[in-house]
Amino acid sequence: MRTAARRARRAHSTWKPYAVGAAVAAALLATTACEGDSDEGGPVPPSASASQSQSQATPPAPDDDASEAPTDGDDAVGTDLCAMKDLTFAASKYGERGEPARHIMVVATNESDKECEIQNAPEIMLGDAQGPAPVMEGTEADEPFTLAPGEKAYAGVLATGGNRDTYEVTFMTLTLGSPGGEAEAEEPVELEMPTEGSFQADDGQRVTGWQPTEGLAMRPVTQS
């Protein structure tokens, strides 16, 4: 009996160190596992999550230099349409000397100190006509073009188209009209007559659109 009791006490004392060692090893493994989760992208401690959320919610400070930089639209400046006050006008007979003034060239010169754009066709009244000479189809420039100071624009006038109802012209007037309908038409100016005395016109009269060269303006007129 005594021998059996001694064996039982020896076995109990031997198991106790083993049990303590196992508990310590388990605690170490649990600590290592927690640290590994944090380092390897696992569960984040509450303090780290709060810090990360605060950094995401706070917007970056504005860049003062970027906010003060001008936009492209701020520097864009357009060119104004030519007005009557910017231009002077002259009319001359176009053709052989001694022939009737059937073809007339009108010249507009930019007398201002700035560029301006001219477009469409002049409104030209030949004497007592009931309205401006109609514009010849296909003779207007596709886009407005720019006149620098001193530059000229040209338009051609066909006084007679071979029709009846001829009448005598003793004066002629011109205005730019209202290009694009952007403003009311300006008051017309009277042009100096291209010939001494008078010339004949009829209801076949026509005018070309403004062109940047004499040839482009007068070719449709002389070929009619």
b/e burial code for range 106-142 (CB count within 10 A of at least 16 → b):
bbbbbebeeebebbbbbbbbbbebeebbebbeebbbe
Tokens 């001494």, residue located = 196
User: In 10 A of CB 101, how many CB atoms?
Assistant: 22
pTM higher than 0.75 for the full model? Answer: no
In the predicted structure, residue 220 carries a pLDDT above the cut 50: yes
pLDDT in tens, 115-165: 999 999 999 999 999 899 999 999 998 899 999 999 999 999 999 988 778
pLDDT in tens, 170-202: 999 999 976 555 567 688 999 999 988 899 999
